[in-house]
């Protein structure tokens, strides 16, 4: 028997391995197997197909079967294949993105020993050997472990250690969450008795003072006397192991172990800080819906009887989330599961709390900021007999195993972060989720106050159902938007740096009334432009084709593409004058300036820089929510669907940077960002005010934002898209080529475009030099292919891959990369 498997590598297609006789009965499609690949490497592969057609090359044996039952359901394999086909990548790349690292160990995975681990059974010699090597610290690649241990095959050993929690996969993203498990101690049942305890006390006091001391400390911490008097062990206060260790001087570990061995203490783990720690069993409490909301809910259900996908266009704060919770409840009542997709990690925090209050531990959360071990756990729970009924997550949660999916909610469906840019698979989670729902016969609800034009177009063409929710909850009015003409104010010299007098006055008034303010500036750092005032020299990144941004708190110049940082030169390297100046306003500078204007106000900043360092986004949001901050300055992070009570003013500092982006979606995005951030104002009781600063007061998008006129944005943009043939009128495929050498990339891109023209004729545009044409030392060129929606995509894909193979087989292009981005 043979198994076709997919490897976690960017390779096309599947690889065939021989199934050893003793495994033949057990290997199933969807199980993981260990296979050798290349000269020395071992990978975790997934079985896609079983057959007995002997390939015409020598096959290697499967080394080990990792699962007794499949960890990948048939629908998941189908989704992987669909993504690979549609987004023109290999299925191995989908596999890499789809499973948490802990489920796909390979020679390159880095493991480290888990400091908190306590063995329940003695380790086997091979396991001990690995632990010894790891104790040297800092983590090791599995490939390195293989070499330094001389074991026949180290991977299964590592996997066992991983399962028992002795080792962990080293995290690239540092954990932002509390450890999942708290090691706790309690008095065992046998000694939960006053007489016995007194006896024990006496013996220990004489024989082992250290153990005595420890027991004493425990009894105090746990308030045991009371619990024993009441004869109820539940009344023992929980004592963590580290708490107990700290209560006793010296290193009481051996004494502790002795007490445990004697059966006086017992240890257990308690889950902390995570959802499933909650003991709540679906104490479901839903808000009663308003009339408008009830109406919307019923219309959605009616639309679903005709088409599986429905778009809910609800103005900000209309209560879309409330409508979702009712639909979730109805789906759960039918015994089905719900996938609730959000675009951003930022949003999950607020929503998690909101949903947890309603659905308790039936809710699971999955996102990339969780440590890998926790993601593995969520994955396995979804496979188990008692999976989460609701899964809240960001785009990668479409890869979880759903056994019984009934509803997919895609909130803020217009958000571009649903699209993965890099690395492959460059998939759009909204589209992939619709596919997933389609496979399981689930319904889909897309929700947004500013729908993506493609979705709205699908409504118009009858593909999606449509429901509108036009009023805010309790009829709070949408915010009033005042446009401020920056050009005019500058002419009259009335601008105070980035602030108009109107904006400053409004902020002042809001602060006096103890209201909060959000200031939105779509640039992070201190100053976006740095320049020599004498000769005009501009510092640029050495790896990328972009100018650098000045960051004041680190006093460095930073590249926002590759993350490199550079010192600020004391003098200009070009003309040697010491006259380097920074211009423009990033969020960091706005924060500084606003503090100068309002020294009494408490100001916080939310952008990529503040949310990856000490003050993480949760803290910032929490403080703002609790009213501990008055003014929140931020990038588009503050525009997302957050729900605050006391924000009465929103300032959009510079609409022009958004309008001048070189992208066919820039107007649509500018509208979405401005309408969304405006929607943060005045969500309770009173109407909010938005100050929109722009040099281009005549811009149609500005008018559409002011009038909240989505229809007219849609009409105008659709005309333009039609005229210039952009999606949704065609399918847009960007073909990128990358190489270290600019001449090579030039030549290759021209050759590529020429051959593509022979095949696809007028549908090919370019090659172009993209806006940012060099990133991390690689030069980039792009060729655009615009296919009719009716064109057979399989054929196009085959042709593209043929061309790619042909070009890359030429020696001069060997180290070039070709990849695709399907819009």
Q: What is the contact surface with Zn ion in residues (CB under 5 A)?
A: 532, 534-535, 537, 541, 543-544, 559, 561-562, 564, 572, 574-575
Rounded to the nearest whole angstrom, what is the least distance from the CB of residue 630 to ligand ADP in the complex?
Answer: 20
Binding pattern for the stretch 256-295 against ligand ADP, x by CB under 6 A and - elsewhere: -------------------------------x-xx--x--
The Cα angle at residue 417 between residues 411 and 423, in degrees rounded to 5: 140
Q: Which does 258 bind (CB under 5 to 8 A by kind): Zn ion, ligand ADP, none?
A: none
Q: Which does 746 bind (CB under 5 to 8 A by kind): Zn ion, ligand ADP, none?
A: none
- The residue among 73 and 580 lying less far from Zn ion, judged by its C-beta, is 580
Q: How far is the C-alpha of 677 from the C-alpha of 681, rounded, in Å?
A: 8
Per rule CB under 6 A, is residue 643 in the interface with ligand ADP? yes
Q: Give the number of other Cβ atoms within 10 Å of residue 103's Cβ.
A: 23
The nearer residue to ligand ADP, 144 or 643, going by C-beta atoms, is 643
Among ligand ADP, Zn ion, none, residue 113 binds (CB under 5-8 Å by kind): none
Q: Which is nearer to ligand ADP, 476 or 808 (CB)?
A: 476
8 A C-beta contact, residue 113 and residue 135: yes
CA distance 752 to 747: 9
What does 429 bind: ligand ADP, Zn ion, none (CB cut-off 5 to 8 Å by kind)?
none
Q: Binding string to ligand ADP for residues 158 to 197, with x set by CB under 6 A, is what?
A: ----------------------------------------
In whole angstroms, how close is the CB of 292 to ligand ADP at the nearest point? 9
Distances from the Cα of 295 to the Cαs of 286, 463, 508, 706, in angstroms?
17, 22, 41, 27
* 516: partner contacted, choices ligand ADP, Zn ion, none (Cβ within 5-8 A by kind): none
786 forms beta bridges with 732
Q: Which is nearer to Zn ion, 295 or 542 (CB)?
A: 542
Number of residues that bind ligand ADP (CB under 6 A): 16
In the complex, the smallest distance separating the C-beta of residue 451 from Zn ion, rounded to whole angstroms, is: 34
Contact partner, 320, from ligand ADP, Zn ion, none, Cβ < 5-8 Å per class: ligand ADP
- In the bound state with Zn ion, the residue whose beta carbon lies nearer, of 541 and 642, is 541
Binding mask 304-323 for ligand ADP (x = CB under 6 A): ----------x-xxxxxxx-
Choice between 111 and 449, CB closer to ligand ADP:
449
Neighbours of 164 (CB within 10 A): 14
Minimum distance from residue 315 beta carbon to ligand ADP (Å): 7
Q: Residue 522's binding partner, choosing from Zn ion, ligand ADP, none, with beta-carbon cut-off 5 to 8 A by kind?
A: none
CB of 582 to Zn ion, least distance (A): 14
Q: Which does 321 bind (CB under 5 to 8 A by kind): ligand ADP, Zn ion, none?
A: ligand ADP
Q: Distance between CA 668 and CA 97 in Å, rounded?
A: 29
| 8 A C-beta contact, residue 65 and residue 27 | yes
Please give the C-alpha separations between residue 281 and each of 385, 388, 700, in angstroms, as whole numbers: 17, 12, 51
Number of H helices, E strands in the chain: 27, 34
Spell out the long-range contacts of 801-809 with Cβ–Cβ below 8 A and sequence spacing 24 or more.
Answer: 801/12, 801/88, 803/752, 803/755, 803/756, 803/759, 806/755, 807/748, 807/751, 807/752, 807/755
Q: Give the per-residue contact string, 662-691, with ligand ADP (x = CB under 6 A; - = no).
A: ---------------------x--------
d(Cα 127, Cα 529) in Å, to the nearest integer? 55
Sheet order of strands, 363-366 included: 363-366, 390-393, 337-341, 405-411, 443-448, 309-314, 465-469
Residue nearer to ligand ADP on the CB measure, 320 or 774: 320
User: 109 is in the binding site of which of Zn ion, ligand ADP, none (Cβ under 5 to 8 A by kind)?
Assistant: none
Nearer to ligand ADP, 287 or 463 (CB): 287
The residue among 91 and 775 lying less far from Zn ion, judged by its C-beta, is 775
482 φψ region: left (φ > 0), alpha (ψ -120 to 50), beta (else): beta
**Between the CA of residue 497 and those of 494, 500, 501, 504, 597, what are the distances in Å?**
9, 8, 10, 11, 11
Which residues does 77 contact at the CB level (< 8 Å), separation at least 6?
29, 30, 46, 48
CB of 290 to ligand ADP, least distance (A): 5
Residues 548-577 binding ligand ADP (CB under 6 A) are: none
Binding of residue 708 to ligand ADP (CB under 6 A): no
Taking the complex as a whole, the smallest distance from the CB of residue 418 to ligand ADP amounts, in Å, to 17
Binding residues among 318-377 for ligand ADP as defined by CB under 6 A? 318-322
Please classify residue 126 by burial: count the beta carbons closer than 10 Å to its beta carbon, then call 0-12 exposed, 13-18 middle and 19+ buried. Answer: middle
Tell me how many degrees the CA angle 198-202-206 measures, rounded to the nearest 5. Answer: 165
E-strand spans in 653-772? 689-694, 730-739, 764-768
What are 667's two structure tokens?
């107007």
Alpha carbon distance 203, 209 (integer Å): 10
CB of 562 to Zn ion, least distance (A): 3
Out of 80, 473, 520, 714, the residue judged to bind ligand ADP by CB under 6 A: 473
Q: How far is the CB of 332 from ligand ADP (least distance, A)?
A: 19
Closer to Zn ion by CB, 444 or 544: give it.
544
Q: CB nearer to ligand ADP: give 264 or 409.
A: 409
Q: Which is nearer to Zn ion, 84 or 544 (CB)?
A: 544
- Work out what residue 371 binds among Zn ion, ligand ADP, none; the CB cut-off runs from 5 to 8 Å by kind: none
Q: Work out what residue 782 binds among ligand ADP, Zn ion, none; the CB cut-off runs from 5 to 8 Å by kind.
A: none
Q: How far is the CB of 331 from ligand ADP (least distance, A)?
A: 18
| Cα-Cα-Cα-Cα dihedral sign, residues 449, 452, 453, 454 | negative
How many other C-beta atoms are found inside a 10 Å radius of the C-beta of residue 698? Answer: 8
168 binds, among ligand ADP, Zn ion, none (CB under 5 to 8 A by kind): none
583 binds ligand ADP (CB under 6 A): no
Phi-psi region of 582 (alpha: psi -120 to 50; beta: other; left: phi over 0): beta
Residue 557 CB, nearest approach to Zn ion (Å): 11
**CB 542 to Zn ion: min, Å:** 7
Instruction: Report, in angstroms and rounded to the nearest whole number, the Rg of the chain calculated over CA atoms.
Output: 30
Please return the burial class of 703, using the count of CB atoms within 10 Å of its CB with bins 0-12, 13-18 and 19+.
Answer: middle
Distance, CA of 654 to CA of 547 (rounded, Å): 20
Selection from ligand ADP, Zn ion, none that 544 binds (CB < 5 to 8 A by kind) is: Zn ion
**Partner interacting with residue 559 (select from ligand ADP, Zn ion, none; CB below 5-8 Å by kind):** Zn ion
Site for ligand ADP in 72-91 (CB under 6 A): none
322 contact, one of Zn ion, ligand ADP, none, CB 5-8 Å limit per kind: ligand ADP
What does the alpha-carbon distance between residue 822 and residue 386 come to, in Å, rounded to a whole number?
37
In the list ligand ADP, Zn ion, none, the entry touching 562 (Cβ below 5 to 8 angstroms by class) is Zn ion
Q: Which is nearer to ligand ADP, 351 or 796 (CB)?
A: 351
Instruction: Provide the 8-state DSSP code for 495.
Output: -
Cβ closest to ligand ADP, residue 322 vs residue 609:
322
> Nearest approach, Cβ of 390 to ligand ADP (angstroms)?
16
Token couple for 680: 């943060």
- CA pair distance 235, 229, nearest whole angstrom: 10
Closer Cβ to Zn ion, 330 or 564, answer by number: 564
CA angle in degrees (0–180, nearest 5) for 465-354-271 = 125
Q: How far apart are CA 136 and CA 331, in angstroms?
A: 51
Q: Which residues pair with 120 in a beta bridge?
A: none
Q: List residues near ligand ADP by CB under 6 A.
A: 287, 289-290, 293, 314, 316-322, 473, 641, 643, 683
């Amino acid at each position: 028997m043979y198994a076709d498997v997919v490897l976690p590598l960017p390779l096309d297609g599947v690889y065939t391995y021989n199934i050893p006789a003793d495994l033949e009965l057990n290997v199933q499609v969807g199980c993981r197997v260990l296979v050798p690949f290349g000269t020395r490497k071992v990978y975790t592969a997934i079985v896609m197909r079983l057959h007995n057609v002997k390939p015409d090359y020598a096959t290697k044996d499967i080394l080990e079967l990792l699962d007794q039952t499949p960890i990948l359901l048939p629908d998941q394999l189908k989704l992987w294949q669909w993504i690979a086909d549609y987004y023109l990548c290999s299925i191995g790349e989908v596999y890499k993105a789809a499973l948490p690292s802990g489920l796909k160990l390979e020679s390159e995975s880095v493991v480290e020993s888990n400091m908190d681990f306590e063995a329940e059974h003695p380790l086997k010699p091979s396991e001990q050997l690995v632990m010894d090597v790891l104790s040297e610290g800092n983590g090791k690649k599995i490939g390195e472990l293989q070499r330094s241990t001389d074991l026949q095959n180290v991977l299964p050993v590592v996997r066992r250690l991983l399962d028992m929690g002795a080792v962990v996969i080293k995290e690239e993203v540092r954990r932002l969450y509390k450890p999942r498990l708290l090691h706790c101690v309690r008095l065992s049942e046998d000694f939960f008795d006053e007489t016995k305890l007194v006896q024990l006390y006496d013996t220990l006091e004489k024989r082992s003072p250290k153990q005595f001391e420890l027991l004493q400390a425990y009894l105090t911490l746990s308030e045991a006397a009371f619990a024993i008097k009441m004869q109820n062990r539940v009344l023992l206060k929980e004592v963590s192991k580290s708490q107990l260790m700290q209560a006793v001087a010296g290193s009481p570990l051996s004494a502790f172990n002795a007490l445990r061995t004697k059966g006086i203490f017992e240890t257990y783990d308690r889950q902390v800080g995570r959802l499933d720690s909650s003991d709540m069993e679906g104490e479901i409490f839903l808000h009663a819906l308003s009339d408008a909301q009830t109406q919307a809910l019923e219309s959605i259900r009616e639309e679903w009887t005709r088409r599986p996908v429905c778009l809910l266009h609800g103005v900000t704060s209309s209560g879309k989330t409330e409508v979702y919770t009712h639909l979730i409840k109805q789906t759960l009542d039918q015994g089905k599961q719900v996938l609730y997709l959000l675009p951003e990690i930022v949003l999950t925090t607020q929503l998690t709390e909101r949903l947890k209050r309603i659905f308790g531990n039936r809710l699971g959360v999955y996102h990339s900021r969780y440590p890998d071990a926790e993601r593995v756990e969520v994955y396995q729970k979804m496979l188990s007999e008692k999976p989460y009924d609701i899964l809240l997550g960001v785009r990668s949660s479409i890869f979880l195993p759903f056994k019984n999916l009934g509803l997919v909610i895609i909130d803020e469906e217009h958000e571009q972060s649903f699209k993965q840019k890099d690395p492959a698979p460059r998939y759009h989670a909204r589209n992939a989720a619709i596919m997933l729902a389609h496979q399981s016969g689930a319904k889909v609800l897309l929700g947004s106050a500013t729908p993506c034009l493609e979705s709205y177009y699908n409504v118009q063409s009858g593909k999606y159902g449509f429901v509108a929710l036009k009023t805010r909850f309790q009829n709070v009015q949408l915010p009033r938007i005042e446009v401020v003409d920056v050009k005019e104010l500058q002419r009259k010299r009335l601008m105070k740096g980035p602030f108009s007098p109107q904006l400053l006055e409004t902020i002042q008034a809001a602060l006096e009334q103890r209201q909060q303010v959000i200031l939105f500036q779509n640039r992070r750092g201190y100053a976006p432009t740095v320049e020599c005032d004498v000769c005009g020299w501009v510092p640029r990144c050495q790896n990328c084709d972009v100018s650098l941004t000045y960051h004041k708190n680190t006093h460095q110049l930073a590249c926002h593409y590759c993350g490199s940082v550079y010192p600020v030169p004391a003098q200009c390297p070009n003309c040697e004058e010491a006259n380097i100046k920074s211009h423009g306003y990033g969020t960091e500078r706005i924060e500084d300036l606003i503090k100068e204007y309002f020294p009494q106000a408490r100001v916080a900043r939310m952008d990529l820089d503040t949310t990856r360092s000490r003050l993480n986004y949760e803290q910032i949001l929490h403080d703002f929510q609790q009213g501990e901050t008055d003014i929140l300055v931020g990038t588009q992070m503050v525009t997302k669907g957050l729900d605050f009570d006391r924000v009465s003013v929103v300032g959009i500092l510079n609409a022009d940077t958004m309008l001048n982006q070189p992208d066919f979606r820039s107007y649509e995005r500018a509208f979405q960002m401005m309408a969304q951030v405006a929607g943060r104002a005045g969500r309770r009781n009173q109407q909010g005010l938005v100050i929109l600063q722009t040099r281009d007061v005549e811009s149609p998008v500005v008018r559409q934002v002011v009038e909240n006129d989505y229809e007219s944005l849609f009409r105008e943009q659709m005309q333009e898209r039609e005229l210039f043939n952009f999606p949704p009128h065609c399918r847009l495929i960007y073909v990128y080529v990358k190489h270290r050498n600019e001449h090579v990339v030039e030549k290759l891109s021209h050759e590529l475009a020429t051959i593509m023209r022979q095949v696809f004729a007028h549908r090919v545009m370019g090659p172009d030099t993209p806006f940012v044409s060099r990133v991390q030392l690689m030069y980039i060129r792009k060729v655009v292919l615009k296919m009719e929606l009716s064109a057979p995509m399989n054929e196009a894909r085959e042709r593209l891959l043929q061309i790619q193979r042909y070009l890359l087989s030429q020696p001069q292009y060997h180290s070039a990369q070709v990849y695709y981005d399907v819009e």
